Amino acid sequence: MRRIAVANTPEKVQTFVSCFKKNPARALISNLHTEIEHLEIGGLSFPFSVNSGNFCGNCYVCDPITGYVDYALDETRNFSESPFVRGAVRALILASAPLVRATGLNNIVIVNNWLFSTNPIPHLTPQLARELKDRLIARYPDKIIAIRSLNSIADPHSIAALCAEGYRTLPSRQIYVFSHGGLTEAPSSNMKYDQKLLKTNAYERVSNDQFHERDYDRCAKLYSMLYLDKYTHLNPQYTALFMREMHQNNLIKLNGMRDQSGDLIVVTGLFVNGNTLTQPIVGYDTSLPIREGLYRIAMAIGQDYAIKNQLFFNMSAGAAHFKRLRNALPVVEVMAIYDHHLPRHQQYALRTVEILLKRVGVPLLQRFGL
C-alpha cells in the first residue's frame, strides 16, 4: 500500500480556524457550541475544539456524549428487523447513559478537529503524543484530551504511540476505507454501474470552480434533505455560510449536478488533506425518484476522485452495505483520550465505558455490519 499521509499545512489550519474566529460557531454549524483554536507542535499544525460541558445535546463532532448516547439511540433504527435486539440495545444504552455522562466527555479538548464526522490525523510519534497532552493539560488542566477518527488501517503507528503514552482508546463506530493503490480487486459491478451513471445521466456536471454565491443556500438545503431530514438532526447542521466559507477558502472542493433549469440536485464536498480524502458533504434532492440514482452519483464523484488522484479514501460510517459493494473495507474507528490528570472517579467511569464499548459495542457493530 502506498504511504497514507495527512498534511495539515499551517496555512490550511490557520484558514480554517480563522473562519471560526470571524463567525460564531452556531452561524456555521447550527447545533454546535464550541471554541476553535490551533496548535503548532513538532512541525505539525492542528485545529482543536474546546468544550466546557455547559451545553446539553451539543453536536457529536465536539461532544462525544452526544455520540455515545443520543446518536447511539438513534442508530438503533438499524435493528428494525430484529425488535428484540433493538429493544435490548436501547435498554443497554439508556442504562449506561448516567455512566457515560459521569465521564465528563463533554468537558473536552479534541485535537485535529475539523468539525467533520471524520478527521484523518497526521502521523504521531510517541514524542508528539507526549508533547500534545503535556501542552494541552498545562493550558486546560480540568479537561479530557482527545483525538478522534483513528483506525488500525490508516493509523496503526499513531495508535501505538498514543497507547505507549497512556492514552485510552474508546471505540466509536465502524467506518469504511477505500484505497485505489492498496486494493487489488477489480472494480466491482456496482462501481462500474456508478461510473456509467456518473457519465450518462441526464444532468449537467458541476465542478468546483462552477459554484456561485447563489448555490450555497441550495448546497445546505440538499445536505439537510439527506443528513438531517432523512437520517437525524444530530448530524452537523452545516449552514449556507459554512458552505461558503469552506469553499471560498479552498478548504473543501464542491462538485455536483444541475438539472435543466440550472438548479443543483446533487452536491458533494471533498476534503483533501495530503494523500487522504474524505467526503464530509453529501446531499441530493430526496424528493426525486430513487431510480435517478442521485446518491450513487454523489458517492461516485468521491470514489472517482480518489481513483484518479490515487488517494486513500476514508468513506466514513453509514450506508455499510452500499460501501462494501464498492470494495471498501470495514474497520472500527477509535477515539484516543488522555485522562490521567483527572479525578479518580472520572478515570474509573472512563475505564468502565471503555470496557463496555470494547466488549459489547464492537461485537454489535461487527455482527450486524453497521
Question: Is domain 179-324 annotated with CATH 3.20.80.10?
Answer: no
pLDDT at 366: 77
CB atoms under 10 Å from CB of 199, counted, come to 10
pLDDT at 327: 87
Please write the tens of the pLDDT for every residue from 239-294.
999 999 999 999 999 999 999 999 999 999 999 999 999 999 999 999 999 999 99
Lowest mean pLDDT among 47-51, 81-85, 140-144, 263-267: 81-85
Share of the chain above pLDDT 70, in %: 96
Helix axis angle, 215-223 relative to 240-248, nearest 10°? 120
Asked if the model's pLDDT at residue 2 lies above 50, the reply is no
Please write the tens of the pLDDT for every residue from 335-344.
999 999 999 9
Q: What is the mean pLDDT of residues 43-60?
A: 88
Q: What is the mean pLDDT of residues 20-47?
A: 95
Average of per-residue pLDDT values in the chain: 92
Q: What is the 3-state secondary structure of 227-248?
A: HHHHHCCCCCCECHHHHHHHHH
Please write the tens of the pLDDT for every residue from 313-354.
999 998 888 899 888 999 999 999 999 999 999 999 999 999
Please write the tens of the pLDDT for every residue from 166-208.
999 999 999 999 875 444 467 788 889 999 999 999 899 999 9
What share of residues in the chain are helix, strand, coil (percent, to 5)? Answer: 45, 20, 35
Give the whole-angstrom CA distance, residue 202 versus residue 182: 33
When pLDDT is cut at 50, 70 and 90, the band that residue 301 belongs to is: very high
Contact 303, 178 (CB under 8 A): yes
For residues 360-369, one letter each, b for 16 or more C-beta atoms within 10 angstroms of the residue's C-beta and e for the rest, the string is: ebeebbeeee
Q: What is the mean pLDDT of residues 116-133?
A: 95
User: What does the domain layout of the chain look like in residue ranges?
Assistant: 10-174+330-367, 179-324
Residues whose CB falls within 8 Å of the CB of residue 219, separated by 6 or more in sequence, listed in order = 211, 240, 243, 254, 256, 264, 267, 269, 281, 283
pLDDT at 80: 66
Closest to 110 measured CA to CA, from 136, 129, 91: 136
pLDDT at 166: 96
Give the whole-angstrom CA distance, residue 335 versus residue 316: 14
- Distances 237 to 42, 58, 106, 232, 299 between C-alpha atoms, Å: 33, 11, 19, 10, 20
* Beta pairing class for 108-111 and 144-151: parallel
pTM: 0.93
